[in-house]
A and B are shown apart, each in its own frame.
Chain A
Amino acid sequence: MKERFFKWFYGESDPMEHILDCAEVPDESREEWKYEEHEIEREISRRVHTQSVIRAERRGFYAFYLIIAVISCLMLIGVLLFTVSQLPRYGVENPRAKEVIERYVEKGLEETGAVNIVSGMILDYRAFDTLGESHVLFTALLCVMILLRLDEKNKRTRYENYYTVLADPYYDISTDPIMRIAATITLPSIFLFGIYILLNGQISPGGGFSGGAVMGAALIIYAAAFGFTVTDRVFTYRMSRCITFLSLAFYSFAKGYVFFTGANGIPNGVPKGTPGAVLSGGLILPLDIAVGMVVACTMFGFYSLFRRGSIGGE
C-alpha cells in the first residue's frame, strides 16, 4: 500500500490507469514536439540576458516608479474615500436627483407598457444606449477574431500545437463520462431557463443580456461536454454571422422607426399589449430577443475562438 502510494506520488504509476479509459498521448509523437536540448539552452540564456538588461537599464527607474506608484495609489484612495464620506447618506433618497426617476416610474408603465421599469428604461427611453452595448459586444468579437483566428498568416506555434492538437484529447473533458451525463441532465433545463429569462424581460428581472448570457453558457457547456464536432453541425460560422447581423439590423431599423415617428408625433402602430402579460411592452420583447441572440453568439464565439481559434470550425 505504502509502496503503491509512493509510486503514485513520484509519478511512476497511475492506480486509476485501468479504470479510466483515457488515451495517453503516444510517446513518439510527444518526443517529436518536445523542445530540443539546444533550444532549451538558448531560451534560458535569452531569459537571463533579458533579466540582466532589465536590471542594468531600469534600476533607477524602478525606485522612481515605486515611489510615484505608492504616492498615487494612496492619494487616489484617500481622495475617493474623502468624497465618499461627503456623499449623501447610504440608503436615503437623494431629493436633488428625483426628476428623471419620477418620470420613469410614474409614466413608464403607460408609455412603454412594461411592468419592469428598468427594462422599459433601457429598451425604450434609452434604447440607443443598449444598441451601442450590443455593438460593443459585436466589435469585441470582431477584435478577438482578428487576433486569434487561425489562418495562413496566424498559425499555431510548435509548442502550442503540442498542447492543443496532440495533448488535447488527453486533457479534453469531453471524454469524461461524468461531464457527459451531468450535461445531459442539466442542459435542457439551462436552455429553458435562458429562454424564460429572455422572454420575461419586460415583466420580471431579466432580459436580453442575462438571458443571452445563460444561453451562451449552455452552448459552452454543450461544446465542452460533447466536443466541437457536435456543435459544428448546428452552430456554424455562417449561422452565427447571420444571426448577429439580422439581430443588429432588426434592432437598428425597429428602434430608428419608433424614434423617428415618436419625434414627429406620428402614431407608430406598435401594439402595447396588456401590462403584465408576456406579449406586452410593445417592441421590448422583440428587441430583448435580438439582444439575447447577439449575446449568446458572442459568448460562444469567445469560447470557441479562445479554445480552438475559429467559430464553427471552417
Chain B
Amino acid sequence: MFENLWINGEEAVAIILFGIGFTMLLFQRNLLKKLIGMNIMDTGVFLFLASMGYIEGRKAPIVTNGVLDTAAYINPVPAGLVLTGIVVSVSVTAVMLSLVIRLYKRYHTLDLDEIYVLSKHQMEDR
C-alpha cells in the first residue's frame, strides 16, 4: 500500500512538513505559534510543487544554445505556481501578524482561549 513512499521521498517529506504545520495549527494555543505552523505548511506546499516539476537529468528552463526541445528542460509550470504561493504566503503572514498585534493590544494576551473567554464575558481591560 505504501510501497512507493520511499521512491517519492521528497513529496513524502513535503507532506510530513505540511502535517507538522497542521498539527501546530490545531494544538498550539499561542497565536504566534499558530502563525509559525501556517508558515511551515506553506513551506511543505512549496517543496511539494517544486519536486513535482523536477525531472531527473534535465536543466532549468532557460534556453541556451538554441535548444528548443521539451526533453531538455524540467517542467516550468510549478516554478510559476511556487512564485504565486510565496507572494500569497508573505502577504497573509504580514496581515496575520498585524492582527495578532491588535489582539494583543486589546486583550494583553496571545492565548486564543483567554481571548475567547475575555471577549465572551465582555471583561473591560484597563
**In the complex, A110→B7 CA distance in Å?**
37
Q: Does B11 contact A (CB under 8 A)?
A: yes
Shortest Cβ gap from A154 to chain B (Å): 9
Q: Which of A108, A144, A157 contacts B95 (CB 8 A)?
A: A144
- Closest A residue by C-beta to B98: A147
Q: How many A-B residue pairs have CB under 8 A?
A: 166
How many chain A residues touch B (CB < 8 A): the figure is 66
Determine whether the beta carbon of A85 is less than 8 Å from that of B117: no
Determine whether the beta carbon of B91 is less than 8 Å from that of A101: no
Residues in A with CB closer than 8 Å to B122 are: none
Q: Which of B63, B64, B69, B126 contacts A39 (CB 8 A)?
A: B126
Q: With A76-B22, A136-B88 known to touch, is A116 a contact of B61 (CB < 8 Å)?
A: yes
Question: Would you give 25 A-B contacts (Cβ < 8 Å), ordered by A?
Answer: A47-B114, A50-B109, A58-B113, A73-B19, A82-B2, A84-B8, A84-B15, A85-B4, A90-B10, A90-B51, A98-B70, A101-B77, A102-B70, A105-B61, A106-B69, A118-B76, A121-B77, A129-B80, A140-B90, A144-B94, A144-B98, A147-B95, A147-B101, A205-B62, A302-B94
* A residues at B contact (CB < 8 Å): 39, 42-43, 46-47, 50-51, 53-54, 57-58, 69, 72-73, 76-77, 80-82, 84-87, 89-93, 97-98, 100-102, 104-106, 108-109, 115-118, 121-122, 126, 129, 133, 136-137, 139-141, 143-144, 147-148, 157, 160, 203-205, 209, 275, 302, 305-306
* B residues at A contact (CB < 8 Å): 1-5, 7-12, 15-16, 18-19, 22-23, 26-27, 51, 54-56, 60-64, 68-70, 73, 75-77, 79-80, 83-84, 86-88, 90-92, 94-95, 97-99, 101-102, 105, 108-109, 113-114, 117-118, 121, 123, 126
